[in-house]
Structure 1
Amino acid sequence: MFASICLGAIINIADVHARSTPKKASVITAGVLPPTVRAALRQAGVKPSSMSVVVERIDAARPILSVNARRAMIPASTIKLVTTFAGLSILGPDFRWQTKAYVDGELKNGVLQGNLYIKGSGDPKLIPEELIDLVEQIRQAGVVRIEGDLVLDKSYFADSTRYVKWFDENANAPYKVNPDPLLYAFKSLTFTLTPQADGKMLISATPPFEQLYITDTLRITPGLCAGWPAAVVPAVQFAADGSTRVAFSGEYPLACGTRVKSVSVLDHTQFFARGFLALWRQSGGTFSGHVREGPYLSEARLVGLHKGPVLAEIVRDINKFSNNSMANNLFLTIGAQSVKPPADLAKSVGAIKQWLRRTGLVMPEFFISNGSGLSNEARISARSLAALLRAANQSPVAQAFVESFPIVGVDGTMRHRLLNTPLVGRARIKTGTLNEVRAIAGYVSAANGASYIVVSMINDPRAPAAQAAHDALLEWVYQRPH
C-alpha cells in the first residue's frame, strides 16, 4: 500500500515487503483494454495492437489487465528503472562517486612547479556546488599558483564510451550529452533570461566558465508568449583565441517572463577545464599551463578528494527528471564496479544481465544498449517490467527506488499530468518518451485502498498523440472497484 506524504499517498514498502507470497487475484485476467483507453487511442489514430499493458495488484500473483504483455517493446526512458534498480542493488543506496586531485613536482610558498591532476570516476552530479569543494581542498593544501599543466585523468571509462551514434539529428542537445568520467554540469551552459521593464534583457549563465562572452540583441516585444523555446536559439561560436561566444537575437515577448535555456557546448575535456579554471580563479588561484588528458602519476600526491551525493539522491534525479546523462554514467559505473575499470558497454550489459538472473527476473526479450533508454534498439516487455517493479518493491532498496518516481501532479515529469483528478499525489509513475514511443511504469494507490503495478508502452508513429490513453489507463486503475 502507500505510506503517507503530505500531498497524497505513496507505496508503503514495509507492508508489501513483509508479504513473501502474493495472494491469488480475485479478478479474472482481462485481455481487453478499458473503453476509455480504447476511445483515447481511437482519437489519436493509434491501433490497440500498438499498446502493451500490464496492470496487477501489488499483493496478487496474476494481472487484472494484460494486453500484448509479452511483446518486446521500445521502452524509452522507462528502461531507467532497470538501470536504477540494478544500481541501487549492486552498488548500494549509500554509494558515492569520488573525484580526486593530485599534484607532482615541488610545492613551495603556494607555487606548484608541477602538474595538477584531476581523476574522475563518473560522478553523475558534479556541478559547481560540488566541484567548489575540490577546489577549496586544493587551495587548503597550499596550492595557489599552478605553473604546470592541468591533467585530466579519464581512464575510468573506456574511450569507446565517448562516442554514441544517436538516432536523430539533434545530437548536440543537452539531453544527449555522452557519458564521461568528468561529466561536469551535464556539459551544458544554462542561461537565465529575464526581460526588464526598460526593454533590456538580463542574461546570466551557469556554471562559471572561462572565456565565455555573451552578446544580446534580443528585442523585447508585447504580446503573448508563443513559440518558446524554439523562438530563442542562441548562436554559439568558438573563437580562435579559445573563447566561447554566445549570441542571443530575435524577439522575446515580455509575457514570457524569466526563462531558462540550456546549450551543450565543447567536448567534455574542454568543458570541465573551463568550468574548473573559472572556479579556481574565483578562489584566488592562478594557472599558466596547458590542459591535457592523461593518467595521474603513481608518485603524485593526493591533495583533494570530493565525494559526490549518495546514489539514492542520484537515482531520484534520474527517475524524477529523466536525466539521461546521469543514467548513462550510472550504467557505466555498474560495469566498472562489477568487473573493473575501465568501464565499457559490454561490462555494464553483462553485469546487469547477471544481476537480473540472480534476482530471479527472466527476460528473454530484454535488450539494453545504454542506461537511459535513449535508443530505438532497447527492448523489454510490459510483463518483464512489471515483474521488475514487483521485485523492486519487495527488495532491501525498495524505499530508495520507489521514492525516486515522479509523483502524479506534484513533481518531475508527472508534475503537469492529471491535474484536478483524484490521482494527484496517489501515483508514482516513470514516463518514457521518444519520437514514436510513449511509456509509463509505476505504482498507483487506488480509491479502493489497494495498490497496483501499472506498465504500458505505445510504439506507434502517432504515439505522441496518445498520452491521453495512458492518463485514461491510470484513472481506470485508480477507480478499480476491487
Structure 2
Amino acid sequence: MKRIVTALFVLNFCSTILYAQPIKQRLQQAVQRITADAKLKHAIMGFYVVNAQTGAVIYDYNGNTGLAPASTQKIFTSTATLALLGQNYRYTTLLAHNGSISNGVLNGDLLIAGSGDPSFGSWRYAGTHRDSVLAHISAVLRRKGITRITGNVVVRDTAFSYQPIPGGWIWEDIGNYYGAGTWGLNWNENQYDLQLKPGAKEGDTAQVIGTKPALQQVELLNRITTGKAGSGDNSYIYLAPYADAGFAEGTIPAGAGRFAISGAMPNPGRQFGFDLQQYLQTQDVAVNGTVETGWELLNNKQSIPAYTRVLDTMYSPQLDSLVYWFLQKSINLYGETFIKTLARNAGTTGTTEEGVALLRNFWQANGIEPSALKIQDGSGLSPQNRVTANALVTALQFARKQPWFDHYFADLPLYNRMHMKSGTIGGSKAFAGYHTSKEGIPYTFAIIVNNFDGPAQAVVQQMYTVLNELK
C-alpha cells in the first residue's frame, strides 16, 4: 500500500511540475509534436496566441505567414460588418405597386424590391420562412382588397451588381448550396434540394424524384449513380448563375429510400417571382401578367418599372442574429451578402471587389497590414484567400473591445469545449477564437494548417492537442 501511495505521489508531483512549465514552453513542445507527424511532412502551420486581457504575445509560430484560412475568414467579415452597420441593422424588402386599385383590381404591376436580405425565405427564423413570407404578402394584398393584378410580378433584384459570385470560386462549388451567389433579392437562402432515389445495386442510375422547391425554367441532366451502402454523398451539381440548364454527377449511397443533395439556385429572383405567383393563385389572387426580374429587364435593354406606392415593408432579423447563423453554420451566402452590403452602404455599386477593398481598409485602420489580408471574398470559400494567424487574432481582439462582444462570443461555435470558428477547405484546416484557462487566464488564438496529408479529422485531433495546452 505504501508503494502505491508513493507512486501516486510521484506521478502527481511530475504532473504538477509538467504543468508548471511556462505556457510558451508547453505550446512549443506541442507544436514540435504535431509538426513532426507524417501527415504534416509537407504542410505549413501558423499559430498565434495572445493574452486576451493584456494583448501580450504568448506564442508565435509563423504567425505572420499568409495561409488559406477557409471559413475562419468569416471573423474579419462578421466583425467589420457589426462595427460598420451596427448590431441592430436590418435589411428591408418592399412590397409596392405602380398603378391604381379599383374594385379589387390592381391596375398595374406588383413590385418586390430587395436590398439583399440573405434571410428572406430562410427556414432559420419563423418570420422569414418562405411559407410565412408568401402568406404575409397574400395577407397584405387581401387587406388592400386586391383579388386581381393586371400587370406583372416584377422582382427588383438589382441592389447588388450583376455578378453574384466572387472571383476565385471553383466550378465544383458554385452549383452547390454552399457556393450560392448573392443577389439584390435572395430567396430560401438561394438553396433547393434535388431529391433522389438510389438504384437497387451499385452502379445503377439514381432516379430524380424532383426538386424542393420546384425549380422554374431549369433543366438538370442527371448523371448520378448508386454507390456502396454507407458511402455517403459524393455528388455535385454543376449549374451556373442565370443558367437554365446544368447537370449533376457523382454517387449517392445504396440502401437509402430517398436522398437529397442541396444545390444553389441559378436565379433566385425569378424563382421567388414564380413561387409568389403560384401561391397567389392558390389564394384566389389572379395575376394576368408574367414574372419579370430587374436584371432580365436591363439585359433586354428595358427599364425597370418604378413603384408609386409602398404597400408593406418586410424586415430581416437584426444583424447580430444573422451573424449568429453566419458563424454557427458557416453560411457563405451571408458573408458574400455582408461584403456587398458594406460596399452599397458606402455609396458604391455593391460589388464583391468594392466590399473587399472596404474590408481591407477597415482592418488597416484597426491594426492589420493590407498585405496580411489577401482576400477574394467575404466567406473564405475561395482557395486564393491568404491571411495570417496574427491578423485573425488582431480581429478577435478588436471584437473584445466592442459593446456587442458578449453576443459575438456566444455566436462562435463550441469545438473541443472552446469558443472558436473553424475553417475547412481542400488541404486546409483552421481554428480561431477564445478560451480561458482553468487558472483564469483569457487567451485569444488562431491556428491554421495548410497542405496536410490524409483526412481532415485526423489533423483536427492533432490541432486539438496543441490548443488543449491553453486549457
Q: Which TM-score bucket, shorter chain as reference?
A: 0.7 to 0.9
Q: CA deviation at 1:346?
A: 3.9
TM-score normalised by the chain length of structure 1: 0.75
Distance in 1 between the 2:272 and 2:114 partners? 11
Equivalent pair of 1:447/1:479 in contact (CA under 8 Å): no
For residues 110-136 of structure 1, the C-alpha deviation after alignment (integer angstroms, 9 at most, x for no partner) is 222211111110001111045323443
Distance in 1 between the 2:271 and 2:355 partners? 26
For residues 435-458 of structure 1, the C-alpha deviation after alignment (integer angstroms, 9 at most, x for no partner) is 132111111233333332221112
Residue 453 (structure 1) aligned with residue 449 (structure 2):
no
Mind listing any 5+ residue stretches in structure 1 that lack a counterpart?
1-25, 196-200, 237-241, 409-422
Please provide the CA RMSD for this pair. 3.8
Equivalent pair of 1:100/1:119 in contact (CA under 8 Å): yes
1:344 counterpart letter in structure 2? T
Residue 477 (structure 1) aligned with residue 471 (structure 2):
no
Aligned length: 424
Equivalent position of 1:226 in the other structure:
230
Greater share of residues in helix? 2
Equivalent position of 2:280 in the other structure:
280
1:407 counterpart letter in structure 2? L
Residue 173 (structure 1) aligned with residue 152 (structure 2):
no
Residue 150 (structure 1) aligned with residue 144 (structure 2):
no
Equivalent pair of 2:27/2:59 in contact (CA under 8 Å): yes
**Percent of residue pairs identical:** 21
Q: How does 1:1-400 map to 2 (within 5 A)?
A: 27=22, 29=24, 33-35=28-30, 38-39=33-34, 42-47=37-42, 50-127=44-121, 128-129=130-131, 131-132=133-134, 133-161=136-164, 164=167, 166-190=169-193, 206-207=212-213, 225-230=229-234, 253-254=254-255, 256=256, 260-294=260-294, 297-298=305-306, 300-337=308-345, 339-340=346-347, 342-400=349-407
Q: CA deviation at 1:45?
A: 4.1
Equivalent pair of 2:166/2:377 in contact (CA under 8 Å): no
Equivalent pair of 1:190/1:262 in contact (CA under 8 Å): yes
Q: CA deviation at 1:303?
A: 1.2
2:133 counterpart letter in structure 1? L
Distance in 1 between the 2:348 and 2:157 partners? 11
The structure with the largest alpha-carbon Rg is 2
Mind listing any 5+ residue stretches in structure 2 that lack a counterpart?
1-20, 122-129, 199-206, 295-302
Select between 359-368 and 374-383 the one with higher mean Cα deviation: 359-368
Q: CA deviation at 1:152?
A: 1.8
Equivalent position of 2:433 in the other structure:
442
Equivalent pair of 2:273/2:292 in contact (CA under 8 Å): no
Aligned to 2:398, the other structure's residue is in SS state helix
Distance in 2 between the 1:46 and 1:134 partners? 58
Distance in 1 between the 2:31 and 2:24 partners? 18
Residue 121 to residue 386, structure 1, CA distance change in 2 (3 Å): same
Q: CA deviation at 1:252?
A: 6.1
Equivalent pair of 1:31/1:65 in contact (CA under 8 Å): no
Equivalent pair of 2:171/2:238 in contact (CA under 8 Å): no
Distance in 1 between the 2:466 and 2:27 partners? 13
Aligned to 1:335, the other structure's residue is in SS state helix
Select between 290-299 and 202-211 the one with higher mean Cα deviation: 202-211
TM-score normalised by the chain length of structure 2: 0.77
Residue 235 to residue 439, structure 1, CA distance change in 2 (3 Å): closer
Distance in 2 between the 1:390 and 1:310 partners? 23
Select between 140-149 and 378-387 the one with higher mean Cα deviation: 140-149
Residue 476 to residue 208, structure 1, CA distance change in 2 (3 Å): same
